[in-house]
């Protein structure tokens, strides 16, 4: 698709990956970070679109307020960014004839299943984050069923994420700066997803002219403990122990789903399938995306 592509949330993990992929493919890509464009401000979004010399051909909305616990405390902000903004962007795209892609989350599900969630399964978010993201989906689809909504899960890439935090904590313990044992929950299950792979998958869905709702994540299932153990083993920290704990032992303001495994068969039927999460983690660890020091973890 020739013309201008627009990416919101361009400094987030997925936004960075999308921007790099598009520019690497020679696309004319306008990348808006939170500092460039506050999608939670209707006036700012309207002004940004009005200032464009020509309407974009595709808008990819990777902007989101993803700090799950802060979404409970800053509900108005979460609603503005995760719920209102996607609907506004969808309307502006509809008025200008642009394709629109919105990225959502596994947190729209209640987390009490034992089989992978399909796109047709009932939703029921338990957290403010999940409720705001579900509302965003619904507002997009209310504008047009032809727009693409992609749900993913357990994202990691360049920036703040679970593997990055884990590597920082491991480095602290290796240097003896911190002696406390690592503790990771082992009763929450999902599909870890590498932002680079997700970006490729989203663009592949666009090329396949996919419309409507799709799930997209790396294949395979893991608990947070299994993901942590694999990351450490692959990073030279195999000697460090990780205590298995339960969700109930780790109190957080927002509830976490026990089960958030996504069924990605619908995308696979179009030939869009991401590699196994272990291969994706290995690729992340040898890339420039993986940090070498402590990183604050928000999710």
Q: Are 12 and 62 in contact (CB under 8 A)?
A: yes
Burial class (CB in 10 A: 0-12, 13-18, 19+), 219: middle
Known catalytic residues are: 129
Q: Are 226 and 276 in contact (CB under 8 A)?
A: no
CA–CA dist 141, 149 (Å, integer):
8
Cα angle for residues 217, 221, 279 (degrees, 5° grid)? 65
């Amino acid at each position: 698709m020739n013309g201008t592509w627009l990416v919101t949330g361009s400094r987030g993990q997925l936004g960075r990956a999308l921007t790099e992929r598009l520019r690497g493919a020679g696309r004319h890509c306008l990348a808006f970070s939170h500092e460039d464009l506050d999608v939670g401000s209707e006036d700012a979004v309207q002004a940004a679109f009005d200032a464009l010399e020509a309407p974009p051909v595709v808008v990819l909305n990777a902007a989101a307020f993803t700090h799950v616990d802060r979404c409970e405390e800053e509900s108005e902000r979460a609603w503005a960014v995760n719920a209102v903004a996607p609907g506004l962007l969808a309307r502006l795209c509809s008025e200008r004839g642009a394709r629109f892609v919105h990225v959502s989350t596994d947190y729209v599900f209640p987390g009490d299943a034992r089989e992978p969630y399909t796109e047709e399964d009932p939703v029921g978010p338990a957290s403010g984050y999940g409720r705001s993201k579900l509302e965003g989906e619904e507002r997009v689809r209310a504008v047009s069923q032809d727009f693409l909504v992609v749900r993913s899960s357990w994202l990691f890439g360049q920036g703040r994420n679970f593997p990055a935090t884990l590597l920082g904590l491991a480095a602290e313990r290796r240097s003896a700066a911190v002696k406390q044992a690592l503790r990771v929950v082992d009763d929450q299950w999902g599909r870890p997803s590498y932002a680079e792979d997700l970006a490729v998958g989203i663009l592949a869905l666009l090329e396949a002219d996919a419309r409507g709702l799709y799930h997209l994540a790396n294949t395979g299932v893991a608990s947070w403990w299994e993901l942590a153990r694999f990351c450490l083993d692959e990073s030279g920290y195999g000697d460090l122990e990780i205590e298995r704990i339960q969700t109930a032992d780790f109190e957080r303001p927002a509830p976490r789903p026990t089960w958030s495994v996504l069924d990605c068969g619908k995308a696979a039927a179009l030939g869009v399938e991401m590699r196994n999460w272990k291969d994706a983690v290995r690729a992340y660890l040898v890339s420039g995306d993986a940090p070498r020091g402590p990183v604050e973890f928000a999710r």
